[in-house]
Amino acid sequence: EPEVTQTPSHQVTQMGQEVILRCVPISNHLYFYWYRQILGQKVEFLVSFYNNEISEKSEIFDDQFSVERPDGSNFTLKIRSTKLEDSAMYFCASSDGRYNEQFFGPGTRLTVL
Amino acid sequence: SQQGEEDPQALSIQEGENATMNCSYKTSINNLQWYRQNSGRGLVHLILIRSNEREKHSGRLRVTLDTSKKSSSLLITASRAADTASYFCATDGIQGAQKLVFGQGTRLTINP
């Protein structure tokens, strides 16, 4: 069964460093999303991406964040200068858009020291 | 906001019993989805119910949706130890593919 994959599973970085989180969505999906979950809190929407552009973003997704689909299979989230409060589990999701049924990857746990 | 809120926050039952979790939301929705999350792991998609549907089944799962009360329930029948996890509902709006808004989740513990 096709699934969303994410790498790395765990990333540790120093405050101020740039990180890139990678996702491979399900191959025939056209809508891509990033969410995050701070430990013990709700899953929060960050950004949605369709047709090579951002379709919606949350207040969390400020100028420090960017997304890219560099090729036909990868979807990346970049945080330019990480802060302590960026420590969270980051989930990628994809959908074929038919009923907005979103399938999530296993997540990347980002720890900012 | 479209926030879904689950109830109860925690539920502990014996293996073999049925587990019912509820979700309420505030605004009109297009779809409501339920997800499972094992501790510290990814979100597993369980079931999607559209706003024009009232009930849906998948294996041991039964989901109901009452749009007049803005609420949904997830029933897991004949629970197993492997069902121990957190369960979340997530709602989206009425304008096509867009963000999901998650509730706080129900932590379900199945005791052997």
CA distances from A54 to A32, A34, B51 (A): 9, 11, 26
Confidence check: pLDDT of B61 > 80: yes
- Which residue positions in chain A have pLDDT lower than 70? none
Q: Are strands A53-57 and A108-112 parallel, antiparallel or unpaired?
A: unpaired
Q: Which of B108, B90, B110, B7 is nearest to B43 (CA)?
A: B90
Confidence check: pLDDT of B7 > 70: yes
> Across the interface, do A44 and B102 touch by the CB < 8 Å criterion?
yes
Q: Across the interface, which of B40, B50, B104 has its CB nearest the CB of A42?
A: B104
For residue A46, which phi and psi values (nearest 5 degrees)?
Answer: -110, -55
| Residue numbers in B near A56 (CB within 8 A) | 98-99
Amino acid at B98: Q
Q: In whole angstroms, give the CA distance from residue B110 to residue B112.
A: 6
> What is the model's pLDDT at position B95?
63
| Best mutation target, A59, A102, A103, to test chain B (most B CBs within 10 A) | A102
> What is the model's pLDDT at position A72?
79
pLDDT tens digits along B64-105:
999 999 999 999 999 999 999 999 999 997 665 589 999 999
Confidence check: pLDDT of B14 > 70: yes
> Across the interface, do A104 and B96 touch by the CB < 8 Å criterion?
no
Burial of A27 (0-12, 13-18, 19+ CB in 10 A): exposed
CA distances from B77 to A37, B22, B33, B39 (A): 29, 15, 18, 21
Q: CA angle at residue B90 from A20 to A55, to 5 degrees?
A: 50
Confidence check: pLDDT of B2 > 60: no
- State whether residue A86 is helix, strand or coil: helix
